[in-house]
Amino acid sequence: MSKPYGGQLAEICEKFRIESSLDSVETLIDGIINKTFKVNFTSGKSYLLQQINSFVFARPEQVMGNIDLVTAHIMKKNPDGCNLHFHHTADGKNYYIDKNGSFWRLRNYLDAVTFNTCDDIAVLENAGRAFGRFQNMLSDFDASVLCETIPGFHNTVARMETLFEHASSDPMGRAAEVVRELDFISSVREKATELCKMTLSGAIPTRVTHNDTKISNVLFDKNTRLPLTVIDLDTVMPGMAAYDFGDTVRSAAGTASEDERDLSIVSLDIAKFEAYAKGFVSETRSGLTKTEIDTLAQGAFCVTVEQAVRFLDDYLTGDKYYKISYPLHNLCRARCQLKLAGDMLEKLPAMEKTVAKYAAL
């Protein structure tokens, strides 16, 4: 049995009142923010134990407060579905802070399959349905009860400003390496911040959204490949439907993974885009405004540029936010996202036409 944290994980699991002994622990590579373990008990049951990254989430108890409210809402809407269940400690909290101040949570383990990239068109359409339904389930959720767990999370305007400030203060002496990237970002700055500005002015409504709709955040049935549930509710808070739509396009409708180094193979696959758009738009066309529908495709471009800005900013400021596997990882991620965004810009008219086709059905 592997013993990450020197066996301390058993003690942490006990706090969540699991009535069995810890048998084995598997470290899962799951996302690039939190640490995730599959903990297997002698009873035969498994759970997902996560250590929340408190550099990213300064107030993890607010994240867990939001999750309590959102999971209860979804459970009411979808009582017979496959739902996330976070276990509570003896004092009724859905988290535990250990003696080192680390923040832990434990939920039911769902035996399912996830995709980081995906060539199966049917899976993409189903991912669209899953995130579309998730959006619908939250359409009557009172946004005012949610904490903004990461202020300005999808404020592309502010993220751009921060990037350019860091490019000029250059704390790590890396700005000279990214001149071309900064030039490209400047050239698309207006288009990439347009939806964010429309939301700030009220032209696009603010909704309760997932805000991290990577395709890896949908669980699919191992056999049928139908969507089971949407996971990673850490950033559910007020946001833009177009960014939720767009982030799945960014993560799943490209021809390569998020950190591909061979930029010659990075582009948007229009067939994948169409499959995803079909699923998402079929579920949401009656709930979203015309302006929202009309700007969904642009949302993919905006969120992809924003993601590049975030990776590049992390590179310029010393790689503190995202986990990296090698020194230039964030720079490579940023370059890959910029290549994808550039291709999306060229294909935007076709993408908009595709969305309009499914909106009109």
39 binds, options ligand GN1, Mg ion, none, Cβ within 5 to 8 A by partner type:
none
Residues 183-212 interacting with Mg ion (rule: CB under 5 A): 212
317 binds, options ligand GN1, Mg ion, none, Cβ within 5 to 8 A by partner type:
none
If one asks whether residue 232 binds Mg ion (CB under 5 A), the answer comes out as yes
The answer to whether the beta carbons of residues 309 and 160 sit under 8 Å apart is yes
214 binds, options ligand GN1, Mg ion, none, Cβ within 5 to 8 A by partner type:
ligand GN1
User: Per-residue contact track with Mg ion, 83 to 122, x per CB under 5 A?
Assistant: ----------------------------------------
Shortest spacing between CB 214 and ligand GN1, in angstroms: 5
Shortest spacing between CB 112 and ligand GN1, in angstroms: 16
Query: 194 or 212: whose CB is closer to ligand GN1?
Result: 212
The answer to whether the beta carbons of residues 258 and 337 sit under 8 Å apart is yes
Burial environment of residue 348 by CB neighbours within 10 A (0 to 12, 13 to 18, 19 or more): middle
Which residue, among 269, 293, 295, has the nearest Cα to 280 in the 3D structure?
293
Query: 32 or 69: whose CB is closer to ligand GN1?
Result: 32
Write out the two tokens for 247: 């982030």
Closest-CB residue for ligand GN1?
31
Query: 181 or 278: whose CB is closer to ligand GN1?
Result: 181
157 binds, options ligand GN1, Mg ion, none, Cβ within 5 to 8 A by partner type:
none
Contacts with ligand GN1 by CB under 6 A lie at 31-33, 56, 212, 214, 232, 234-235, 258, 307
32 binds, options Mg ion, ligand GN1, none, Cβ within 5 to 8 A by partner type:
ligand GN1
56 binds, options ligand GN1, Mg ion, none, Cβ within 5 to 8 A by partner type:
ligand GN1
Shortest spacing between CB 43 and ligand GN1, in angstroms: 29
Which residues of this chain interact with Mg ion, rule CB under 5 A?
212, 232, 234
